[in-house]
Amino acid sequence: REQPVLQPYTMGDLTLPNRVIMAPMTRSRAKNAQNAPTEYLHAEYYTQRATAGLIITEGAQVSPRGVGYIHTPGIHSSEQVTGWKKVTKAVHDADGRIFIQLWHVGRISHPHFHDGELPLAPSPLNPGAKVYTPDGFKETVTPRKMTLEDMETTKQEFVTAAKNAMEAGFDGIEIHSSNGYLFHQFFNRTSNMREDQYGGSIENRARFFFEVLDAIKEVMPENRIGARFNPSLHNAFGMTLDEETLPTFDYIIEKLSSDYDLAYIHLSEPFTDVSDVPHAETQIAKRYRPKYKGTLMINTGFDQDKANKVIKDGDADLVSFAKLYISNPDLVGRFRENVPVSAWDEDTFYTQGKEGYIDYEAKTRNLISK
């Protein structure tokens, strides 16, 4: 019998040939005036990995206001849509499936990216982090508190980005509501001190995410929308856990389970050891599998054996791999043939050339399973 992670999976109206998912990863290869993906680099990179059950692209900004890192692609201009069309066509021609991750970094940015204007955030609280700009690492600043008008504009930017994603030929989208970025900043009490309908209670702090989700599902099928969360993110970008952190994610995920029919939710196990951190959960898949009736994708720290186990145990339906997919374009083939995985080179994670991007070698036939 085939390994659990290599078995097909039906996700809404999409059939995935296996459960090995390519996780979204910022790779900083959109080094051009338009911040657009290129045929030479991006299309080649994703097509090399098209045997994944599903590819989720790197985060793509929904607007210039959402930018926080150099050379990251967007999905808000015609040049960017044209660039992504080349990516999706190449991946589909290789019989792959591909979602795009929609991204707004909120306060994890710098005035450099916004013509001197302050980044936007739920509250004017400096995350105390460093951001990589063309001039090197810079300290973050105190952001500008989003007005209700800013929030409406941002919501419409996500809607437009979702429409652009469909025009560009993507099979679906993932809302980046994780890792300390904009939506996560609304969820967390150390980054959201608002006193209006978007702050205070758990329901209020989750409200903006659900408003954006509701607006997006008006323009595209609900079962082609995914969302990513990191419930045990601790001490990242100035956000800490407290007694309401897990109840907040319990509320969000239970509401998604009862009121929505998403493609999936994508959860991260803790990035660091949180076994002695108050209010942290060390086993995210186990906590949320009973709370979520739809497709549950899990990420962080998985290898072939751990992936097979989490699926066999029934704690997740799909497993996403990040660094393993950087250095093993034929990851599915290696799992199938039990070929050892190749190591990645961290020095080329965020460089701008083909080195460490499209020059990792496939060691297996890397065939799509029919």
Rounded Cα distance, 149 and 167, in Å: 27
Q: Is 181 a catalytic residue?
A: yes
pLDDT computed for residue 130 by the predictor: 94
Q: Enumerate residues 6+ apart whose C-beta is below 8 A from 71.
A: 28, 29, 30, 31, 35, 352
Indicate whether 369 pLDDT > 60: no
Rounded Cα distance, 279 and 232, in Å: 9
CB 356: neighbour CB atoms within 10 A?
Answer: 18
The pairing of strands 172-176 and 144-145 is: unpaired
Of the candidates 219, 187, 218, 230, the residue with the CA atom closest to the CA atom of residue 24: 230
Mean per-residue pLDDT, 139-147 = 98
Mean per-residue pLDDT, 51-68 = 98
Q: What is the amino acid identity at position 362?
A: A
SS3 (DSSP) at 159: helix
Phi and psi, residue 368, nearest 5°: -65, 135
CB 116: neighbour CB atoms within 10 A?
Answer: 7
pLDDT computed for residue 151 by the predictor: 98
Rounded Cα distance, 46 and 79, in Å: 19
Which tokens hold the place of 84? 């992504």
pLDDT bracket for residue 366 (50, 70, 90):
low
Which tokens hold the place of 55? 């590819």
Which tokens hold the place of 61? 């900004």
Q: Which of 46, 181, 198, 292 is catalytic?
A: 181
Indicate whether 370 pLDDT > 70: no
Of the candidates 138, 105, 134, 133, the residue with the CA atom closest to the CA atom of residue 119: 105
Rounded Cα distance, 145 and 169, in Å: 35
- The pLDDT tens digits of the residues spanning 232-284 come to 999 889 899 999 999 999 999 999 999 999 999 999 999 999 999 999 999 99
Rounded Cα distance, 358 and 114, in Å: 31
- The pLDDT tens digits of the residues spanning 150-183 come to 999 999 999 999 999 999 999 999 999 999 999 9
Task: Please give the share of the chain, as a percent, with pLDDT higher than 90.
Answer: 95
pLDDT computed for residue 367 by the predictor: 57
pLDDT computed for residue 263 by the predictor: 98
Q: Which CATH number fits domain 4-348: 3.20.20.70, 3.20.20.10, 3.10.20.310, 3.40.640.10?
A: 3.20.20.70
Burial 206-238 (b: 16+ CB within 10 A, else e): bbbbbebbeebbeebeebbbbbbbbbbbbebbb
Mean per-residue pLDDT, 16-30 = 97
Indicate whether 330 pLDDT > 80: yes
Strand partners, 270: none
| CB-based contact 49:320 (threshold 8 Å) | no
Of the candidates 45, 186, 70, 58, the residue with the CA atom closest to the CA atom of residue 120: 186
The pairing of strands 120-121 and 98-103 is: unpaired
pLDDT computed for residue 368 by the predictor: 47
Indicate whether 134 pLDDT > 90: no
Rounded Cα distance, 150 and 154, in Å: 6
| Residue ranges of domains in the chain | 4-348
- The pLDDT tens digits of the residues spanning 185-226 come to 999 999 999 999 999 999 999 999 999 999 999 999 999 999
Indicate whether 143 pLDDT > 60: yes
Task: Please give the share of the chain, as a percent, with pLDDT higher than 70.
Answer: 99
Compute the half-sphere exposure of residue 12: CA atoms within 13 Å on the CB side of its CA.
Answer: 16
Q: What is the amino acid identity at position 98?
A: I
